[in-house]
Amino acid sequence: MKIWFNGKFIDSKKAIVPILTHTLHYGSGAFEGIRFYKTENNSVIFRLDEHLNRLFYSCSVLSMKISYSQEEIKKAIISLIKLNKLDEGYIRPIVWYGNKMGLYPGQADVNVALAVWPWESYLGNKPIKTIISKFIRLHPKSIVADAKISGYYANSVLASLEAKNKKADEAIFLDYKGNVAEGPGENIFLVKNKKVYTPKRGSILPGITRDSVLALLKDLKIPFKEKEISPKELKFCDELFFTGTAVEICPIGKVDNTFINNGRIGEITKIVKDLYCRVVRGLEKKYLKWLNFIK
């Protein structure tokens, strides 16, 4: 597998970083997760511009200056996919501070790498089991919540370990107020009486899939609202699903000991999931604007 590493395509075995890398110690990196899909004649990348906008924004939060333009990164991603001869998979851009110890990154070098690999749906396609985590989502005054920064993921890793220890597939975070926030790498949606709800911005990473789902709901004329959601509402809802680049649209069948919709995928979840699957593969003309074609 080839990796794009600071402007060069190199073998993945040679794409290595020194031990005294700032980001390895302090989590001071920014990254993205992007998917590309096989279509009838070629492949398409889903919402690449929005992902790169978020990457550059996350870098700015860390005062990181990337020495490549967004257009250069975009071209490099397309070339990397072609070089690795993949037609469907995942794209991981990462930007990190290099060889410097001490918290203040100061004059540390800024590095960029791009990796691609085939990746099936992250949590499978069946309704999953979740637990409400004992860890809360990072307090929005401790971090910049709408940036995707490496160090934040220690919180996500702890919740994922907790979920696996409790024989669940994934965790659900509450926020510092005790309201539902999101998954360790997913946003969450709830359906009650044919209306869809999702937590408001504030303590969550406002995902690009979340944004896409809100747009699809609007076009489907399914009513929705962003609001504060209590953990009790989670357990008394009709349907529940996660959204995210990795999981795509993932039905949730159980929260702690409570089954949701008898552990089956709900009607609205299925409509959204099916439409999303078509949209990302370029089968819906209206949403071709979200796709970058790899020719």
Ligand X SMILES: Cc1ncc(COP(=O)(O)O)c(C=O)c1O
Greatest CA separation found in the chain?
56
CA angle 225, 226, 232 (to 5 degrees): 95
What Cα–Cα distance (Å) separates residue 252 from each residue in 34, 129, 184, 216, 266?
22, 6, 14, 20, 9
Q: Which residue lies nearer to ligand X by CB, 182 or 239?
A: 182
Q: Does 248 engage in binding with ligand X (CB under 6 A)?
A: no
Q: What track of x and - describes contact with ligand X for positions 168 through 197 (by CB under 6 A)?
A: --------------x--xxx----------
Query: Half-sphere exposure (CA, 13 Å, Cβ side) for 56?
Result: 14
Q: Which residue has the tokens 């597998």?
A: 1
Nearest CA to 130 among 258, 281, 10?
A: 258
Nearest CA to 197 among 153, 244, 257, 238?
A: 238
Q: Does 58 engage in binding with ligand X (CB under 6 A)?
A: no
Q: Does 208 engage in binding with ligand X (CB under 6 A)?
A: yes
Q: How far is the CB of 16 from ligand X (least distance, A)?
A: 25
Q: How far is the CB of 102 from ligand X (least distance, A)?
A: 28
Binding residues for ligand X restricted to 15-44, rule: CB under 6 A: 33
Q: Which residue lies nearer to ligand X by CB, 207 or 282?
A: 207
Q: What track of x and - describes contact with ligand X for positions 120 through 159 (by CB under 6 A)?
A: ----------------------------x-----------
CA dist., res. 279 & res. 90, Å (int): 17
Known active-site residue 148:
yes
Active-site residue identified among 2, 129, 148, 254: 148
Q: Does 209 engage in binding with ligand X (CB under 6 A)?
A: yes
Residue 32 · residue 54 · CB < 8 Å: yes
Q: Which residue lies nearer to ligand X by CB, 101 or 157?
A: 157
Residues near ligand X (CB under 6 A) are: 33, 148, 182, 185-187, 205, 207-210, 243-245
**Which residues are catalytic, by number?**
148
